[in-house]
Amino acid sequence: MKSKAEFIKKAAVTVILLTVFMTSFAFGVSENYTTENDPLVSLSYINGVLTPAFEAYVDEKVKNVSADEVAAALMNNDSFKEYVASLIASQTHGGVSGSSDGEQFKTVELAAGKKIKANGKCEVIVRKGQAAAYCRTEGAVKDISAGKTLKNGDAAVLGNLIEISYAGDSGIISLLTPTEILIRGEFIVGE
């Protein structure tokens, strides 16, 4: 009998010692645990490591792309062309200036240094080449797509709808290369 009692006593002591050991081990591990050491659940890891790394990656990619490359890619993108066409259609039906030429845009190619002057109110979209706004009156040339007024010498962005509001000395000038534009309204081609 003594051996059975001793065996139960030893088993009980072993179980108690194992329980104490496992409990102290669990408390020791949990005291060293923080969410900063666990990137899967840590908001501070996302905010402190992932977000800055992603922003640096995007900044690096953006630095390597020129505005001309972006404009060329957009002009070759069918979805973008459809968007521009729908934007133009929505603006013409929404009351943007009427024109004596009707609702159709006309294609005009300007040699370098040539100007399109508004002879009334007209709308222009630069399709290829480089062009800039020229005006003596502030507010005469507006980039409707970008929602801003262009000052004399500001670049006309490819594909953007530009409105020339005043007759006389306001319009678009072709820069270094021949420039293809779409135009609606009354205009004069000159130097």
- Per residue in 75-110, pLDDT (tens digit) is 777 777 767 666 665 444 333 333 434 578 888 888
* Domains identified in the chain, total number: 1
Q: Kindly report whether the global pTM for this prediction surpasses the value 0.85.
A: no
Is 140 part of a structural domain of the chain? yes
How much is the CA Rg of the chain, to the nearest whole Å?
35
- Per residue in 15-65, pLDDT (tens digit) is 888 787 777 766 665 555 565 665 565 677 778 888 888 888 888 877 877
Helix (H, G, I), strand (E, B) or coil at 148: strand
Is 121 part of a structural domain of the chain? yes
Is 36 part of a structural domain of the chain? no
Tallying the residues shown for the chain, one arrives at 191
Is 129 part of a structural domain of the chain? yes
Number of CB atoms found within 10 A of residue 180's CB: 16
CATH classification at residue 129: 2.60.120.1030
pLDDT beyond 70 at 70: yes
Is 74 part of a structural domain of the chain? no
Is 184 part of a structural domain of the chain? yes
pLDDT at 86: 60
pLDDT at 55: 86
Q: In which domain, by residue range, is 164 found?
A: 89-190
Residues 6+ apart with CB under 8 A from 91: 144, 161
Count helices and strands (H / E) in the chain. Answer: 5, 9
Helix (H, G, I), strand (E, B) or coil at 154: coil
- Per residue in 12-24, pLDDT (tens digit) is 888 888 787 777 7
- Per residue in 121-163, pLDDT (tens digit) is 789 999 989 999 988 777 888 998 888 999 888 999 999 999 9
